[in-house]
Amino acid sequence: MTFDQRAVMFVATGGFVGYFPVAPGTMGSLVGLLFCLVLGSLPRVWALAGLIPLVLAAVWTAGVAAKLVGRKDPGCIVIDEIAGMAVALAAVDLSAVTMAAGFLLFRIFDVVKPFPVGWLDRRLSGGWGIVLDDVAAGLMANLALRLVLLLGRG
């Protein structure tokens, strides 16, 4: 494997966290929480703007890594969970409670795959198929978290 290929695998596996033998997607989501802390430290407009290159880089990286591994959506690729977590907590005031709730909601939507998450997972291929279902799960988690926070104020 060339240096460039190893670099792609390093990013796609979330710093090799994707090779964790149990629940690599959950481990990748935890790495995503760390990324959310970085985004959360930026002004909100920059944090939101940062989601676009993150998702596009995740799509490219996941697609290349899947080809290197020789499987459609290998479990070791967790850059999709990292991007999904970033969407799940986008423009949310971060606290231990919101991060835990966002993490839990994202994992539920990512595992259960309600529409449109499962539909995207089945219909798309390559990097787009690996990443966009997690982005959709992240968006659903973000909206659910906002609803919970809104109802909690009342």
Per-residue pLDDT of the chain (154 residues; tens, 9 = 90+): 899 999 999 999 999 999 999 999 999 999 999 999 999 999 999 999 999 999 999 999 999 999 999 999 899 999 999 999 999 999 999 999 999 999 999 999 999 999 999 999 999 999 999 999 999 999 999 999 999 999 988 5
Q: Mean pLDDT score of the chain, rounded to an integer?
A: 95
- Predicted pLDDT at 154: 58
DSSP per residue over 90-146, as a string? Answer: TT----HHHHHHHHHHHHHHHHH--TTHHHHHHH--HHHHHHHHHHHHHHHHHHHHH
Enclosing domain of residue 101? 3-153
Q: How many structural domains are present in the chain?
A: 1
- Predicted pLDDT at 1: 87
- Nearest CA to 103 out of 131, 81, 126 is that of 81
DSSP per residue over 52-99, as a string? Answer: HHHHHHHHHHHHHHHHHHTSSS-TT--HHHHHHHHHHTTT----HHHH
Amino acid at site 107 = R
Retrieve residue 16's tokens: 């090799």
pTM of this prediction?
0.95
- Predicted pLDDT at 152: 85
Say how far apart CA 55 and CA 52 lie, in whole Å.
5
- Predicted pLDDT at 9: 98
